[in-house]
Amino acid sequence: MSFDLVLFGGTGDLAWRKLMPALFQAFRHGTLPAGGRIIGVARDDLSDAQYRQLMAERAERVEVAKRPNAEEFAQFGAMLHYLRMDLSQPADYERLAALLREREADCVVMYLATAPGLFTSVAEQIGAVGLNGPKTRMVLEKPLGHDLQSNRAINATLASVLSEDQIFRIDHYLGKPSVQNLFALRFGNTLFEPLWRRDTISNIQITIAEDLGVETRGAFYDQTGALRDMVQNHALQLLCAIGMEPPINSSAGAIRDEKLKVLQSLKPWTPESLAQHVVRGRYASGTALGQPVPGYLQEKGVAATSTTETFVALRTEISNWRWAGVPFYIRTGKRLAGRDAHIAINFRPVPHPIFKTPLGAANRLVINLQPRDGLELHLLAQSAAQDQAEPALAPVHLNLDFDQRFGAERVGAYERLLLDVIAGRLNLFVRSDEQEEAWRWVEPILQHWRNDPAGPRSYAAGGWGPSAASAMIARDGHCWSEEM
């Protein structure tokens, strides 16, 4: 199968940090279809040879396991080409069209690794030069819009140029092996699905924590914030994977239909719940990784009067028969105590205890997403050395590390998603109605914050966010994973 992958923003950070390493890994694994052509597009004045040299130099900066040796890059680099384009000039799109029509590949992938503000104009220009035929697929990175209105405007433009099955809205969390195993855990095994409901589950927690600050992305992040950057997309997609009903089959349409139902079932916000169940924070100076670090307002590119949040914790519910009354807690933030993304499924205690157990002890399933990748099942067991006259239980756990179990068979998120785009598989991509429903649910939070003069709560870098996040979950009689 021949393909042309046009990489708009071909010299940018996303291209060389994530996309090129992922494409190279697919090439190394023998899964990248032969006869492919990767065309970098940017405003820099480069030849094909200079572009290959630039990518070879930047490949030296990626993690060691993903670096090609000279022989490997020589073979992979033969696929790389370059076209100088000014994305505001219609004539440059004609040049791109001429280049692509030289060989009429089986599929053409347009990957927009550009500023989101360019999405609509690029899509319109691609349509204007006739590059929107049935073989074309367009990949769009987040954020797709700044709010519900802007998201609808982008989707309307895309729909005027391409059909829905040609649009691949990428969320790299859905490509993570651990998230794939979440679907396998639920729908490929009989063990947990009968327990996956309100009768046996007490609460569910989704944590996406980063120990880094905004680094060099201060100006971008100050226009985005944690809610738009992480909750509206990554966290809600994880919530959908946990909460959705079993689809009728594994097709993209069936999976996306069930995810949409979850988003439509999220409990609507009220003024009272917005005040009690949403916490926003912003990191102040502190210590991270053993080194003193500045606060958010001292970061380069951040406005001194900024009210942008770097932390969000919230409580919601899925209002349906399976989940009614079960709280779902989401938190995400920068400059926290560690880099840790996981989902904790906390089960209810036994209805009639006959053993002595530690206070608050109950079964728990932890799905680790990063940096570890695997499952932990927390149980209670009795030690044989204990006095049998008054037996007591102690916590034990089973730990499945997917990296150790599968080793070299692991496929990275972007590698998987790029191969899916080339193959035309939509299962791991977000449909327009899903995305709009997520924005619709997030919008009241944004409006509430605009009218809230208090602004974000301060928390010291290197901690777990504002104390209000712990107080919020404690009101339900629960606590976050690290507090157990």
Burial of 393 (0-12, 13-18, 19+ CB in 10 A): middle
448 SS3 class: helix
3-7, 37-41, 55-59, 398-402: which range is least confident on average? 398-402
What does the pLDDT average to over 199-210? 97
Catalytic residues: 234
Task: Check residue 183 and give its pLDDT.
Answer: 87
pLDDT tops 80 at residue 113: yes
- CA dist 342 and 266 (Å) reads 21
- CA dist 355 and 391 (Å) reads 6
Tens-digit pLDDT profile for residues 267-319 = 999 999 999 999 999 999 999 888 999 999 999 999 999 999 999 999 999 99
Task: Check residue 116 and give its pLDDT.
Answer: 83
Task: Check residue 433 and give its pLDDT.
Answer: 96
pLDDT tops 80 at residue 387: no
Task: Check residue 158 and give its pLDDT.
Answer: 96
What does the pLDDT average to over 435-451? 96
pLDDT tops 70 at residue 386: no
Task: Check residue 348 and give its pLDDT.
Answer: 95
pLDDT tops 70 at residue 91: yes
139: its two tokens: 């990949």
- CA dist 160 and 286 (Å) reads 49
Tens-digit pLDDT profile for residues 37-62 = 999 999 999 999 999 999 999 888 88
What does the pLDDT average to over 235-240? 96
- CA dist 284 and 287 (Å) reads 10
Binning pLDDT at 50, 70 and 90, where does residue 30 land? very high
Task: Check residue 407 and give its pLDDT.
Answer: 67
Which residues does residue 111 pair with via DSSP β-bridges, in sequence order? Answer: 7, 139
